[in-house]
Amino acid sequence: MLHTLSIGELGRNLNSGQISSVELTRHFLARIERFNSALNALITLTAEQALAAAAAADAARAAGGQGPLLGIPLIHKDIFCTDGVRTSCGSRMLDNFIAPYDATVVAKLKTAGAVMLGKANMDEFAMGSSNETSYYGPVKNPWDRTKVPGGSSGGSAAATAARLAPFATGTDTGGSIRQPAALTGVTGVKPTYGRVSRYGMIAFASSLDQAGVFAQSAADAAIVLQAMAGFDPRDSTSIDAPVPNYPATLSAPLAGLKIGLLREFFDGLEARNAALIHEALKIYRSLGAETVEVSLPHLPLSVPTYYVVAPAECSSNLSRFDGVRFGYRCENPKDLLDLYTRSRGEGFGAEVKRRIMTGTYVLSAGYFDAYYLQAQKVRRLITDDFRAAFAQVDLLIGPTTPTPAFDIGAKINDPVTMYLNDIYTIGANLAGLPGLSLPCGFVDDLPMGLQLIGPHFSEAKLLNAAHLYQEATDWHRRSPHGYE
């Protein structure tokens, strides 16, 4: 079946003429029509535009055009602006917003010939760990539709896991690619901060947000990241550094690679989850890698640090949504203050309001030094811990999440418990480091993820290590029952 093939295999079939991009696109549109109503993974379907883009890809190939993504379908997280297509950010506030331009990520993948099938559901303004805060309702996990898929990129993760598209884009502010990738059994990559442009990506926390990719495998993710990465002069946080050829180094031997086992990640970790990580370490040792235990003493402070820094930045970024220029506007405002108050009160959901209020508080006079400034100091200590660890090892390894996917509704009314789902992922965002999650087994018939973190701009090494692990295992080839 076409939906079980890798991006490389699909590309070879397209090049040989066995299938056309139009046929491939129709296949995935049919799967979306069949499965999306139960999963709620997509907010917007762009079937007409997709078929037109697929026909253009077929014409380009017939004229001699080439490229690993030419004619390959994808789904974009609904946080990326897409010219002429609704970009909602999972919020009532932007339910009627039609983006007037493409985000750089969208433009780059469009230039590569990829075919957009639609826009994926997400936690409102990327604020959430379960994809339950969306204005459009929760996304269901295809492994068990009573469970969450993780968040905030839960729609992208669920769509990839259910084979509704070969790959999907996502964003990661505190684990929002890696955590849902782990809970849905797919590969998710968060690049180094600045490696992929943030232009046209609606901001949550500007010093933490990073675009990335969901795919079935590290090999597929390498192909997509190759097209997404690179300097963008329109993004002041973009890094002007050469982009390696990620697919070319996927099979480099791991002999001599030093992998650090993060001691802090195993404090309180459930035994069955820990056993999966130790099984993965055995495989890495068999591939020639050396494993050593390392400690990041300030890492346990990452969650409270993040939940000061991120809300502070979100309170600033979301001040533009005021009912005046674009987005939701309340009915019949009495005056300007009423317009602001009711538009924001009615347009934002509970979690977004909670974070705006928290951020405004920690930035206010009298509390800035006590909270925000202290959080930034701890952030530096965490960054220094990572730097010290990478002086000893090449990569760090540990679990992506403390538990498998939990029940929908189980934690939505307990913010602190919900925030702790990101306990293993937040540190990489605070330090701006690349990380990825890949499937490593099951607990209670639900997928679990193995997390790899590297020093800045080590995406090639991360993808290489993930690819060789996936060549030695078949966890990434497992499909949820009913979606095979």
Cα 186 versus chain centre, distance:
11
Per the document, the length of the chain is 484
Two tokens, residue 289: 């890698």
| Distances 78 to 101, 202, 417 between C-alpha atoms, Å | 14, 9, 26
Q: What 8-state DSSP symbol labels residue 4?
A: G
Cβ atoms of 156 and 411 closer than 8 Å: no
Two tokens, residue 394: 């090449």
Residue with tokens 């290489």: 464
H helix or E strand, kind and range, residue 364: none
Q: Please say if 190 is a catalytic residue.
A: no
> Which phi-psi region, left, alpha or beta, contains residue 250 (left: φ > 0; alpha: ψ -120 to 50)?
alpha
| Distances 415 to 204, 352, 375, 421 between C-alpha atoms, Å | 18, 12, 19, 10
Can you tell me the distance from the alpha carbon of 401 to that of 295, in angstroms, rounded to the nearest whole number?
18
Q: Please say if 21 is a catalytic residue.
A: no
Q: Which backbone phi and psi does 146 adopt, to 5 degrees? A: -90, -5
Q: Which backbone phi and psi does 20 adopt, to 5 degrees? A: -110, 165
Two tokens, residue 92: 């009532």
Instruction: Centre a 10 Å sphere on the Cβ of residue 388 and count the other Cβ atoms it contains.
Output: 13
- CA pseudo-torsion sign 93, 87, 26, 68: negative
In the set 21, 88, 130, 176, the catalytic residue is 176
Q: Spell out the residues 6+ positions from residue 335 whose beta carbon is closer than 8 angstroms to its own.
A: none
Q: Please give the single-letter amino acid code of residue 415.
A: P
Angle at 141 between CA 137 and CA 147, to 5 degrees: 85
Two tokens, residue 286: 């068999």
Q: Spell out the residues 6+ positions from residue 364 whose beta carbon is closer than 8 angstroms to its own.
A: none
Q: Please say if 77 is a catalytic residue.
A: yes
Instruction: Centre a 10 Å sphere on the Cβ of residue 377 and count the other Cβ atoms it contains.
Output: 10
Can you tell me the distance from the alpha carbon of 215 to that of 218, in angstroms, rounded to the nearest whole number?
7
In the set 152, 315, 437, 458, the catalytic residue is 152
Q: What 8-state DSSP symbol labels residue 164?
A: S
Residue with tokens 């006079």: 365
Angle at 307 between CA 303 and CA 308, to 5 degrees: 120
Q: Which of 101, 56, 135, 141 is nearest to 348 (CA)?
A: 135
Task: Cite the active site residues.
Answer: 77, 152, 176
